[in-house]
A and B are shown apart, each in its own frame.
Chain A
């Protein structure tokens, strides 16, 4: 047995001893207080591709938990605890708690065509453990195993298009960019990163990357400037793209961009070779008319 395995076993033994010495409190099955309850166990029968409208979906299911640029997709999600146990420990004037629950996540994503009619929809249900640890006045909860507010499932992604459309001219390309995908639960969030390349065209921002942390599947995000409210510089080399519905996409730009030989020419071409975030933010805001 090597040292890592031994250390792991010691930690497991210590944690087990701590848990077994606490008072177990059963956690009954219930929906999370922040979760909606009207996501069924399959795609609702009223949703028919090519027939059901965006209005029909809103009238039957209510506000979505997530919405894509231009309302091209809606996501409806729920968190349901199937029960678990919480161990409460008190010793030496302090108290702590650790627990585990089995959570059923459901996510329904409905995509619409340009006429506002359902193009297709996807349903995912997954049951995963949720760990809670609290001590000293603060509590930590493990992240949800799926984001119920967006469709980030490999192979299906309403935010994702096929990359740079024909007819769009690439103005600048940034390599080694990181798309910081926010994995949102209804009460907690976790950020995952996707490395790739960010291209600015004359009409849209296109990110092409691979999901390094999961299955390596392609992750392509295209945001037309028309869908952007405004862009903003974040901490360090980050840019924040603000979209309708309080959606923010964040990119970390580590190095200067390059302008392709066939990129746009003229006085409106920013200097992409210095202070990447500022030049990108300025360029995008110039395109969307934001300050």
Chain B
């Protein structure tokens, strides 16, 4: 009678452990951004598709969350659920980053 109980307990442990998520962020994710030097292509290579763009491709926006390990890009969604930050990037006509900011949208 005991064996099945222990097996069940172990199964529950495995299932519950599966719910825990390890931090997947990167502390250096945004460190490559350098106003006056970084190109739009570099940004899109490193961060992927932006969640929004303005004035053509001159202003790009990315949504992020931060976990214990650093920042994580969040995909496109219709609202701010699960989002903490907006990375806003303004490029010049040559596609070089001119200004950028990390806007806190929701408190962690």
Q: Which residues of A contact B (CB under 8 A)?
A: 31, 33-38, 54-55, 58-63, 71, 116, 186-187
- Say whether chain B's binding surface is mostly helix, strand, loop, or mixed: strand
A35 touches B79 (CB 8 A): yes
Cβ of B81: which chain A residues have Cβ within 8 Å of it? Answer: 33-34
Chain B interface size, as a band, is 20 to 34
- Can you list 30 A-B contacts with CB-CB less than 8 angstroms, sorted by A residue number? A31-B106, A33-B81, A34-B81, A35-B79, A35-B106, A36-B80, A36-B105, A36-B106, A37-B104, A37-B105, A37-B107, A38-B103, A38-B104, A38-B106, A55-B90, A58-B59, A58-B88, A58-B90, A59-B88, A59-B99, A59-B101, A60-B103, A61-B103, A62-B103, A63-B86, A71-B55, A116-B55, A186-B79, A186-B80, A187-B79
| A63 → chain B closest CB, angstroms | 5
A59 touches B90 (CB 8 A): yes
Among A34, A37, A63, A71, residue most surrounded by chain B Cβ atoms (within 10 Å) = A63
- Bound-state CA distance A61–B105 (Å) is 8
B79 touches A34 (CB 8 A): yes
Q: Which residues of B contact A (CB under 8 A)?
A: 51-52, 54-55, 59, 61, 63, 79-81, 86, 88, 90, 99-101, 103-107
- Bound-state CA distance A187–B79 (Å) is 8
- Bound-state CA distance A59–B79 (Å) is 19
Quick one: which of B51, B80, B86, B90 contacts A35, CB cutoff 8 A?
Answer: B80
Cβ of A59: which chain B residues have Cβ within 8 Å of it? Answer: 88, 90, 99-101, 103
- Bound-state CA distance A183–B36 (Å) is 41
Cβ of B79: which chain A residues have Cβ within 8 Å of it? Answer: 34-35, 186-187
Quick one: which of A31, A37, A63, A186 contacts B51, CB cutoff 8 A?
Answer: A63
Cβ of B105: which chain A residues have Cβ within 8 Å of it? Answer: 36-38, 62
